[in-house]
Amino acid sequence: MILQVQPAPVLRGSVRLPASKSHSIRAFLIASCGGASRIQYPSDCDDAKVAMRAARKLGARVTRLKSGAWQVTASAHPPCLSNINVQESGTVLRLLLPLLALRGSKIVIDGKGTLRGRPNLFLTRALRAMGVRIRGAGEKESVPIRLSGGTLRGGDVRVNGSLSSQFISALLIACPQLDHPTRLTVDGGKIVSTDYIAMTRQVLAQSGVRIRSKGARRYSIAGNQRFKGLKNFLVPSDYGLAAFLMAAALLNHSDVVLKGILRDNLVQADRHILPLLRKMGARFQKTSQAIHIKGPSRLKGGNFSLKDCPDLVPIMAVIALFARGKTRLRDIGHARAKESDRIGDLTEELRKVGARIEEKKDAMVVHPQPKYRAGCLLDSHRDHRLAMAFAVLGTKLGARIRDIECTAKSYPAFVRDFRCLGVKVHKIQN
C-alpha cells in the first residue's frame, strides 16, 4: 500500500500518544517469568502482540480484563514444545531466546521480512558458551534459529555489546532464574543503546529482581531469584513515536497537543528527542500528561550523538533538511542493523528529493538545500520508522510512501492520528 501525503498548510488538534513498544514487550516477557502481573495500557502494535503470544508460549496465562488491563499469570517453566514465529520483532526474538533455552526447549524460532537479515551472532555465541545447543542461519545467525537442547549455565559469561543492547537485556532477564550466580562481562567496542539496558533493569526491579553492576561492562547476577510479578505496571507513552508528530508540528504552522503518560521516572531512550529538539531551537511545553507545540520553530543544525537512541535517526535526518546550517548525526553505525540500513537506505531515499547528505560508516551529515523536489515516491524499505519519517517529510513537500502498512509494527494508528491533526492523506494500491 502507498500512502499519499499532501503538504500541510496548518496542523491543529490533539491526539493520544501510543504506549511504549519497548516497555510493553519487556513487561509481557518478564511477567511470564514468575508471579502474577497486571499490565495497564500496553501497546497494541504488532510487536507487542508477538510478545504477548510469546508469553503464552512460555506457559503464562494471559487474559484481558474488563478494565482494559492485561493479567499475566506465570507458571512453572515448562519446555516450549511448538515452533514460534516472532514475525519481524527483533526485540522479542532476542529476549525470548535465553528464556526458551532456560526451559530446555527443542524448537525452531522463525520470523519474516526484515528480521531474516538481522544479526544475532553475538547472542547465539554467548548462549553456546553457556551450554545451549543453538544455531542460526548463515554467518549472521539470523532466523530461522534452531534450539536443540542443552543446559543454560551461569558462571563467567561474555557478550559483545557493540551492535545491540538487546543481547545484554536478554541475558539480564534469564540469568536470575539460573541455579548459580552469573558474572556477565560486556566486551567489544562502544556499548550502544545503554538506556534500553537501564529500562530492562528497571522493569526487572519492579518484579523483585536485583542486579548489581560495576560500570556499564560488568554485572553480578544472583541465581534462584524469585520473580514476584509486575503489580499494576503502567506502560508509559512512547517518546520515539511522539517524535514524528512533534517533528510534523515543529516544521509547519501548527497548534498541536500530544496527550499521554509522560512520566520522567521510567527510563526511555527516545526521551532524548526532547533535549535534542531544544538544542535545535524547538519551542514546546511539556507536562507529565501532554506536550504542546505551536509551530513552526526556527531550527538550527548541530552535532548530535545518537549512540543511545538509534531509532531517532530517521526523523532527526528529516528535521535536519529544514534546519539552518549542517547537522551531523554520529555514533549511529548500529542503526545499519535495524529493520533497514538506517544510514544507507535513508540516505538513498532522501537524495530522491534533492537532499545533500554525506554518508559515512557511522554517521550522516545533512546539508540543507534551498529547494527540494516535491511529490516523490519514497520506499520505506518496510521499516516503520523510515515510513513515518517520510510521511513527516510529506507534510512539507508532499510525498508518496511505499509499504506504509509497516507502521503497524509500532504505531498502528499513525495514519489515523496524522489525519486527526489535519494532514490530508489517502492510501492507494501499489
Distant-in-sequence, close-in-space partners of 330: CB < 8 Å, separation ≥ 6: 303, 304, 305, 306, 362, 363
What is the domain partition of the chain in residue ranges?
2-18+237-428, 21-234
Residue 229: count of CB within 10 angstroms of its CB:
20
Helix or strand holding residue 420 (H, E)? helix 414-420
Per CATH, 2-18+237-428 and 21-234 having the same topology is answered yes
List, in sequence order, the alpha helices (H) in 154-254: 166-174, 194-206, 239-251
* pLDDT score, position 241: 98
Report pLDDT for 105.
87
- CB-side neighbour CA atoms (13 Å) of 79: 14
User: So what CATH class is 21-234?
Assistant: alpha beta
Please report the pLDDT score of residue 245 as a whole number. Answer: 99
Within 10 angstroms of residue 314's Cβ, the number of other Cβ atoms is: 32
pLDDT of residue 61: 96
Instruction: Please name which of 53, 87, 46, 64 lies closest in space to residue 413, comparing C-alpha atoms.
Output: 46
Residue 240 near residue 315 (C-beta atoms within 8 A): no
- Can you spell out the DSSP letters for 98-109? HHHHHTT---EE
Distance CA 286, CA 52 (A): 31
What number of other Cβ atoms are within 10 A of residue 33's Cβ?
26
| 3-state SS, residue 232 | coil
The DSSP bridge partners found for residue 109 are 84, 145
pLDDT for residue 78: 72
Element (H, E) at 388: helix 384-397
**Cα(first)–Cα(last) distance of the chain, in Å?**
5
Please check whether residue 405 is in contact with residue 1, taking contact to mean a CB–CB distance below 8 angstroms. yes
CATH superfamily of 2-18+237-428: Enolpyruvate transferase domain (3.65.10.10)
Among 338, 322, 329, 321, smallest CA distance to 386 is for 338
Q: List per-residue pLDDT tens for the chain, 430 residues long.
A: 999 999 999 999 999 999 999 999 999 999 999 999 999 999 999 999 999 999 999 999 999 999 989 999 999 777 777 899 999 999 999 999 999 999 988 999 999 999 999 999 999 999 999 999 999 999 999 999 999 999 999 999 999 999 999 999 999 999 999 999 999 999 998 999 999 999 999 999 999 999 999 999 999 999 999 999 999 999 999 999 999 999 999 999 999 999 999 988 889 999 999 999 999 999 999 999 999 999 999 999 999 999 999 999 999 999 999 999 999 999 999 999 999 999 999 999 999 999 999 999 999 999 999 999 999 999 999 999 999 999 999 999 999 999 999 999 999 999 999 999 999 999 998 7
Q: What are phi and psi of 75, to 5 degrees?
A: -120, 180
Radius of gyration of the chain (CA): 21
pLDDT score of 80: 75
pLDDT at residue 337, rounded to an integer: 95
Chain centroid to Cα 63, Å, comes to 25
Could you tell me which residues are beta bridge partners of residue 303?
328
Task: Tell me which H or E stretch contains 313.
Answer: helix 313-320
